[in-house]
Amino acid sequence: GQNIDQPTEMTATEGAIVQINCTYQTSGFNGLFWYQQHAGEAPTFLSYNVLDGLEEKGRFSSFLSRSKGYSYLLLKELQMKDSASYLCAVGRDSNYQLIWGAGTKLIIKP
């Protein structure tokens, strides 16, 4: 079957670093997406990984290991506005729809 696992909730401190993990089991793999979603708002695109390794984009970085079915999103210099849910989604080459994780709710404390 198709499955994506993310922690339900994480708490971190303003100014710190946090790593949000995502593991997946899917038939076929065509890339992994990370989205940010503030409560009641639309998901917004953060990153896309299709090759193994780390992609850095400002304060956010995303890592992928295809052999391990594993990805993480790394957020540095946390700000209060980073409090949101972070969604992991996998694209498969056999299907047009993305498989979405349930999301990780990140709470930032001062």
Partner 1 sequence: DSGVTQTPKHLITATGQRVTLRCSPRSGDLSVYWYQQSLDQGLQFLIQYYNGEERAKGNILERFSAQQFPDLHSELNLSSLELGDSALYFCASSVGSGSGQETQYFGPGTRLLVL
Tell me which residues touch partner 1 (CB under 8 A). Answer: 28, 30-31, 33, 40-45, 48, 50, 87, 90-93, 95-98, 100-103
Q: What share of the chain is helix, strand, coil (3-state, %, to 5)?
A: 5, 55, 40
Q: Of the two residues 17 and 50, which places its CB atom closer to partner 1 in the complex? A: 50
Q: Of the two residues 69 and 101, which places its CB atom closer to partner 1 in the complex? A: 101
Q: Of the two residues 48 and 70, which places its CB atom closer to partner 1 in the complex? A: 48
Dist. CA 4–CA 46, nearest whole Å: 18
Scan for tokens 């899917």, then name that residue: 26
